[in-house]
Amino acid sequence: MTLIFVRHGETAHNAQRRFQGQTNIPLSARGREQARAAAEALRTEAITHLYSSDLARAYQTAEAIAAAQQLPIVADERLREFHFGSWEGLTWDEIVAKTPGLALDAWRQPRYYTPPGGESFETVVARVRAFLDEVRELPDDAVVAVVAHAGVLHAAIAVLEPKGIDPLAISFANGSVLKLPLPR
């Protein structure tokens, strides 16, 4: 089985480097271009299943892929971004200013913090693990595209545990595509 992870296209919050979490923000004009580019990059892939977070930015990205592949989209809440609680809408500098003790570079290590009113990395990993466990039940020749968010994609890599790769060391640019085998 093959997994193709796609990070949603850019939003206004991405451009401003704001934590959007589960705030439902649509793609920007640039994000719509990135979604079309991802769909074009995947045009030759024989995708059999297309899953997406139900948040607008991911779902809109999935719509571009669905149109190119003539596939239905299965929206799944488990693919939603981290819930960042009271941090949603803030930049990292604003968060650090309100939360003494957070290191300036700690945003790269979400396993070490839980935003007030939000989710821990372990919680996101658990819901992504449940999603991937269901995907593993698909036929061996399935090619599964998953359109989601950077946090969810980091959690998926943590679940898959590829040798020698720190899941939080990977950078998922908006509209990026990563193709991996899904071990049984």
CA distances from 77 to 55, 120, 169 (A): 8, 16, 25
For residue 102 the two structure tokens come to 């957070």
Catalytic residue among 63, 81, 88, 119: 81
For the domain covering 2-181, report its CATH number. 3.40.50.1240
| The two structure tokens encoding residue 44 | 């030759």
The answer to whether 119 is a known catalytic residue is no
Q: What is the tens place of the pLDDT at every residue in 25-49?
A: 999 999 999 999 999 999 999 999 9
Q: Which two tokens stand for residue 59?
A: 């779902």
Is the pLDDT at 163 greater than 80? The verdict is no
- Distance from C-alpha of 77 to C-alpha of 58, rounded to nearest angstrom: 11
Say if residues 170 and 10 touch (Cβ distance below 8 Å).
no
Q: Is 8 a catalytic residue?
A: yes
Query: Looking at 8, 49, 83, 154, which residue is catalytic?
Result: 8
Confidence of residue 105 (pLDDT cuts 50, 70, 90): low
Query: Percent of the chain at pLDDT above 70?
Result: 95
| Of the candidate ranges 12-16, 96-100, 145-149, the one whose mean pLDDT is the lowest | 96-100
- Residue ranges per structural domain of the chain: 2-181
To the nearest 5 percent, what fractions of the chain are helix, strand and coil?
Answer: 40, 15, 45
Instruction: Measure the CA–CA gap between 34 and 169, rounded to whole angstroms.
Output: 22
